[in-house]
Amino acid sequence: MNQTMKYSLAILLALTIVAGCSNKAEVTPTTSPTEKESSKPATGTATPSPATSPAASAKTTPKPTSAATAAPTSSQAPPKSGAVQVIAKPESVTVLVNKQNSLPSSYEPTDLVYPDIPFVFAEKIEKRKMRSTAAGAIEKLFAGAEKDNIHLSGVSAYRSFATQKSVFQRYVLKDGEEKAKTYSAVPGTSEHETGLAIDVTGSDGKCAAEDCFGGTKEANWLEKHAAEYGFIIRYPKGKADITGYQYEPWHIRYVGVDVAKEIAAKKVTMEEYYNAVPVAK
């Protein structure tokens, strides 16, 4: 091999070595992917990964409990129109009893007595009774009427729930339920059950609890003087759309002198006096 050939082989070997070193540098990076990520700003501690977000949210925003859903039961919604509610204090002298406000079926006044007044019947039975305060007042009313030469008699005062149920059913059989409700109360909603109401008539017993009582001298006296003794004409003329009952000049209700005089002076019903919703539309 001559000198020129040796020189050429040496140059070729050198070029091969250089090419091999260059290829190795391209396929072997100096920094791993993990090291590149760690060189960026650390956001993992400030922004939790999706795997831990639900747990953190559960701690800061608790789910509704059964106690929260039970809370509304303590504040009831207003009753629907026509709904009947049971009266909480049936013993009140000014209790409002009507088609929307019922006495408890078990209610019975504890102070019932027999007022010393004449009735159209002789028997000493339940419907002669009244509560003691009302009994004393009706005695004074009858005495006052006598001084004006007006002679009154009682027709019916207290009725128990059972008695009112029997009375109402009898009227339903006679006239049908719809008509019966215009002049008789469903058990629990009768003022007679309070022991504070009484039906009265003239001493002759004519027109007892009948329309013909209206316009009589006895009816006129009651309308003018009942309030002086703590009574009101509970179902006045022209107020059936409010009270739910036709005109009953014989039915008087004890509410106390002050309230009775106010109601009479304003010429309103108990419903209007107490700003109660009309019971009939």
The residues annotated with a catalytic role in the active site are 248
Torsional class of 87: left (φ above 0), alpha (ψ -120 to 50), beta (otherwise): beta
Of 123, 158, 115, 161, the C-alpha closest to 140 is 115
Distance CA 119, CA 212 (A): 19
Of 75, 97, 74, the C-alpha closest to 85 is 97
